[in-house]
Amino acid sequence: MRITGGRVFDLKKGFVERDVCFDGPLLTPDSKDGKTFDASGCWVIPGLTDVHFHGCRGADLSDGDPDGLQTMTEYELSRGVTQICPAGMTLLEDRLMKVCKTAAAHRRKKRPGADLVGINLEGPFLSYEKRGAQNGDWLHAPDVDMLRRLMDAAEGLVKLVSVAPEAPGAMEFIREVSEDVNVAIAHTTADYDTAREAFYAGARQVTHLYNAMPGFTHRAPGVVGAALDSPWSRVELICDGVHIHPSVVRATFKMFGADRVVLISDTMRAAGMANGKYDLGGQEVTVKEPLATLADGTIAGSVTDLMACMKTAVSFGIPLADAVRAAAVNPAQAIGIFDRVGSLDFGKRANVVVLDQSLIVEAVFFKGEQVE
């Protein structure tokens, strides 16, 4: 296959005019099979990686349901998200074990749909005061042994774990596990000094920056300021038009640079569904698109998939090349899969998305095959 006529994402140059070629599952310098796809007037980008979303199309990772997980992979692939690292909620250990085992079984069976490249354990090692839509009854102190049990059950799929660094034992937890999993600061009351200590202990990411944490102010910069001063860290950003004001999205890209921002969707099971009432981690959520809330008005995740979030970021003034970097390159780097996916370099998987001038998905190619 030769994709011709498009403006192709290039990690160093932004967008360039060249062909994208593959005759099998990997990108190649040339194509010999004679097939072409006319992408004239379109943007050609790598498939996206969502490292933080809970569900879509009525399914949720926390259900521990094989069919539901399959539904999620198929929907995400149709949206140009070719790699997924879905997030669990704060649940009791037995339910988290089921989630991990279900994910491991899915990967072993090599079922169709987007590649399940990891699991993100957003809970349960979080702050009660900043629990947001997490179930406070099921929160748990940071526990290395518990995490190890879950990692074993997931057969290596756990790529991210969130922790509130002010919790008792959190710093020891971070030091112990940070060589094996990407530790993210999340759902926290931590001040600047505590968050900075966590980054020095081994934390490398912030879960949905600004949400479920103290604000960034001139005398109390909090987690945001600590992350800014820790150049080895990345920050997740939900660009659904609900969680973060457009001005703050622009400011975040300017402060951190496009190479440190990881766009996420944080979608719940209502993504791709009609308005109504849905479950999230055992709590009822009311969806009136684009807003999902608990009964007390707390924002409860998103209903906007990652491709749509990337488009929204562009509508806020983020250059397309920067938005693609934040949705394709940076998340792949964050969970250690950038050697295989995340750019259109030769030798990487032929996971390619063609977007029209309005950034609507025109075509998705996955491992060299066009997705119907």
β-partners of residue 4 are 38
> Does residue 193 have an active-site annotation?
no
* Sequential DSSP letters for 64-105: --HHHHHHHHHHHHHTTEEEE--EE-S--HHHHHHHHHHHHH
- Helix 66-78 to helix 93-109 angle, to the nearest 10 degrees? 60
Residues of 298-316 as b/e, b for ≥16 C-beta within 10 angstroms?
ebbbbbbbbbbbbbbbbeb
Catalytic residue among 63, 115, 266, 305: 266
Three-class DSSP labels, 237-263: EECCCCCCCHHHHHHHHHHHCCCCEEE
- Measure the CA–CA gap between 223 and 197, rounded to whole angstroms: 11
Q: Residues with Cβ < 8 Å from 50, sequence gap 6 or more? A: 76, 81, 83, 84, 85, 86, 264, 265, 305, 306, 331
Q: How many other CB atoms are there within 10 angstroms of residue 281's CB atom?
A: 23
- Which residues are known catalytic residues? 266
